[in-house]
Amino acid sequence: MSDAFTVTGINGYVRSLMDSDDLLRDVWVEGEISNLKRTNSGYVYFTLKDSGAQLRCALFKRIPNAHTLEEGALIQAHGKITLYVDRGDCQLYVDEVRASGGVGQLYEQFEALKRKLDAEGLFDEIRKRPMPAFPKVIGVVTSADAAGFKDVLNVLSRRFPLAQVVLSHTLVQGNDAPPQIVRALEKLVAYGKCDVVLVCRGGGSIEDLWCFNDERVARAISDCPVPVISGVGHETDFTIADFVADLRAPTPSAAAEILTPNITDLQDLIEGARLDLDYLLQSTLEGAKQGLTQAQRTLEMLSPQRTIADMQQRLDTAQERLNAFPSRLISLWRERLASKQDTLEATNPHAVLARGYAIVTRKTDGQAITQPKDAPNGTAITIQLKNGTLFARTEDETTHGNYNRTLF
């Protein structure tokens, strides 16, 4: 029967030894922050490193100055060092941090080179060249074994398989990588058929990506005669190559997306253009047919036979109107006569008297009386009715302050 430990068992044993060590339970560690990551839950993960080694760190507690942690900063971190059993990693669980009075060596080098190249104008927007809309040949500077290169190939085969990909292999990590990256760029320039060059690699720590912060690489990118797009690391990673390239993409896959149109969209565009062309052709033919029909109708309308027929019809219509004119004229006169008779009858005073009205006049002069002042007290008046005449005299009467005229 074997006495071998399981991996979980031996890791757990090592962790118990570390947890029982007084020094590891209460220790300060100084180093430069690298590969800093913050999660939505508020946890912070980073690596502390110096020139010889590195130590993983995790910050789960809320501490006052956690927000000041930044890539490249030189700090002192306090906490407990133990073993993360799942991965077998030695890890510092941080509960306090304090600044060590400066930034790390790598970060200082990065900022110094960035300032130098910026002063020379290598980052100026005016020198940035646009990416080709439909690249036929895409040069790629990366490792053939890099996961980022496989991602690029997958994206290009899906989006734009018409493009030819030319790989210029190089190391993308370590001290030997910068001169190899420069030579890889030079090979693509000598090849002379690339429309654009993609410099890329997948994510990693600042040490993993450091070769893209090399001045030689930056100047080789700047000297490249065709546009260069940089797709190094993840979205939060920035290198000198990103600043000097004509365009920066957050990841290698994103760079391949930016570089190429979607062939499906192009096919849809071509199909839409074909449909538009068919519609235009059909509309043109339909318009020509309508024009021909209209021309035929115009010819028919201008035909002498049509003119003669129209004139004959007008003559017949005029003859009919002429024949009907006397009877219509007599009918019109009769209507007018009847209308005048009705008007005359309506204004006949006897017709008004027949409806119960009377005509009152002064007896002396026959003047019509229309208001009380026309017949003062004692005025003799004549009242004309339908079937006779009455004679009367006016008399004043005051009732409730009203002025009336009484007949007797």
| Residue 120 and residue 97 share a domain | no
pLDDT at 259 (0 to 100): 93
| Residue 93 and residue 129 share a domain | no
| Residue 126 and residue 53 share a domain | no
Tens digits of per-residue pLDDT, 264-316?
A: 888 888 888 888 888 888 888 888 888 888 887 777 777 677 677 777 788 77
In this prediction, residue 104 has a pLDDT band, given cuts at 50, 70 and 90, of: low
C-beta atoms surrounding 362 within 10 Å? 16
- Domain that includes residue 19, residue range: 7-103
* 215-223 vs 177-191: helix crossing angle, rounded to 10: 10
**Which of 205-214, 278-287, 397-406 is the least confident region?**
397-406
Contacts of 101 (CB under 8 A, 6+ apart): 74
And the tokens for 316? 């017949």
Q: What percent of the chain has pLDDT over 90?
A: 38
**Which of 91-100, 117-126, 364-373 is the least confident region?**
364-373
pLDDT at 408 over 60: no
CATH of the domain at 50: 2.40.50.140
pLDDT at 388 over 50: yes
| Residue 256 and residue 113 share a domain | yes
- Nearest to residue 362, comparing CAs of 349, 351, 348, 372? 372
Q: What angle do CA 217, 219, 223 make, to 5 degrees?
A: 120
Max mean pLDDT among 28-42, 187-201, 354-368, 388-402 falls in: 187-201
Q: What is the DSSP letter of 255?
A: H
- Nearest to residue 93, comparing CAs of 112, 107, 80? 80
| Residue 166 and residue 88 share a domain | no
CA dihedral in degrees (146, 147, 148, 153; nearest 10)?
100
